[in-house]
Amino acid sequence: MAVVETRVLRKTFGDNAAVDGIDLRTEEGEYLVLLGPSGCGKTTLLRMIAGLERPTDGEVLIGDRVVNDLPPRARRIAMVFQSYALYPHKTVRANIAFPLVARGVDKDEQDKKIRWAAALLGIEHLLGQRPRQLSGGERQRVALARALVREPQVFLLDEPLSNLDAKLRALAREELKEFQRRVGTTTIYVTHDQVEAMGLGDRIAVLEKGRVQQIGTPWDIYHHPANTFVATFVGSPPMNLFERDQSLVGFRPEHLLPEEVVAEGDGRVPFKLHVERVEYLGSDRYVYGTIPELSSDKRVISRLPFTVTNPVDEDAVARFAVAESNLRFFDQQSGERSEPQPLKGLGA
């Protein structure tokens, strides 16, 4: 186990900075998720930690040692790729054995390790098969087993769930979390899927344009976004944002509720919501409309859990409200989080 650290890490391709001065430090045995849209630099960052990409500038440290000049194989890391990158001409057993053979581990020891890893991931019955005979989920487990037998200091996972179908993905997510808990190895996990990030990460680093926008627990990221990018990237549907008194006001769709539902004591801020459309999604209702007091054309979304049974009619004006504590404020210029301020002249 080891701590991974990056210091003002930069990587440029031509004039384009894929990673633009990133400082990160994991905890021992932490599950850190790098979250961001495609092209935000998260995979480049991971590849620099792995040693597959040379930083233009800055340092990568693993276990408090600068590893910039070490090749991947000397860094004691294991990586699981998006495509799993299993060796198609080798059996599952030979795939898992490959890192051990490369390190010159003797046959008995190899056998022991393979059996241990295969048992841990429940793939003993697949050892004789070839990758192309396996399903997506099985391939992923083989890739994990191959990563595991090296007993790495750090696991690097690059969108390992994106090739699985939705149902399998939920299951595999749970398995991944459970697996990391059991081996307790520091893990860095790259994804563009916020559900994965929220579900797996001890902490999440949200990346955009090669920079860390915010790093914190899933709770922090969701409830106290550092800027408007995080506020709108995390959460589905995204946070509603409005210009108001030289700043931006935001609230999450699930916090915009029928007035009766919001407790009066919380200092509720009422809005007249012009409802355009109601979408029924089983566990939720999405209410789409506008709040003319805030903006005449910007649409807002309210998400009502099925426990809120108040009738909401389309093409009508309904009284909605947000608890004051659930309002977030951002600087209009920079988009950075700012101090809460009273909202005047609304509702009634």
Partner 1 sequence: MTAANTGQTVAGEIEGRPRRYLLDREGLLGPLLLLPAVVYLLALVGFPLVMAILYSFTDITTGNPVLHFVGLDTFRDVLRDTVFRRSLRNTVVLTIVSQLLVVVLSTVLAFALRVDFRGKWFARFLILLPWTTPIAIGTIAWLWMLDSLFSPIDWVLGQVGLIQQGGHMYWLGKRDLAMASVIAVQAWRMLPLATVILLAGMSSIPQEIKEAAEIDGASFWRRLFHIELPLLLPITGVAVLFGLVFTFTDMTVVYVLTGGGPQNSTQVLASWAFYKGINGGSLGQGAAIAVFMFPVLAGFAALILRLANRAEVS
Instruction: List residues binding partner 1 (CB under 8 A).
Output: 50-52, 71-73, 77-79, 81-83, 85-89, 98-99, 102-103, 132, 146, 150
Rounded to whole angstroms, how far apart are CA atoms 206 and 121? 30
Rounded to whole angstroms, how far apart are CA atoms 26 and 13? 26
- CB of 179 within 8 A of CB of 161? no
In this complex, which beta carbon is closest to partner 1, that of residue 20 or of residue 158?
Answer: 158
CB of 267 to partner 1, least distance (A): 53
- CB of 114 within 8 A of CB of 120? no
CB of 153 to partner 1, least distance (A): 13
Rounded to whole angstroms, how far apart are CA atoms 192 and 158? 10
Q: Which amino acid is residue 235, in one-letter code?
A: G
CB of 147 to partner 1, least distance (A): 9
CB of 194 to partner 1, least distance (A): 24
Strand 284-291's sheet: what is its strand order?
257-258, 316-323, 268-280, 284-291, 295-305
CB of 110 to partner 1, least distance (A): 13
In this complex, which beta carbon is closest to partner 1, that of residue 35 or of residue 97?
Answer: 97
In this complex, which beta carbon is closest to partner 1, that of residue 185 or of residue 213?
Answer: 185
Rounded to whole angstroms, how far apart are CA atoms 73 and 71? 6
Residue 295, φ and ψ in degrees, nearest 5: -165, 140
In this complex, which beta carbon is closest to partner 1, that of residue 103 or of residue 298?
Answer: 103
In this complex, which beta carbon is closest to partner 1, that of residue 85 or of residue 312?
Answer: 85
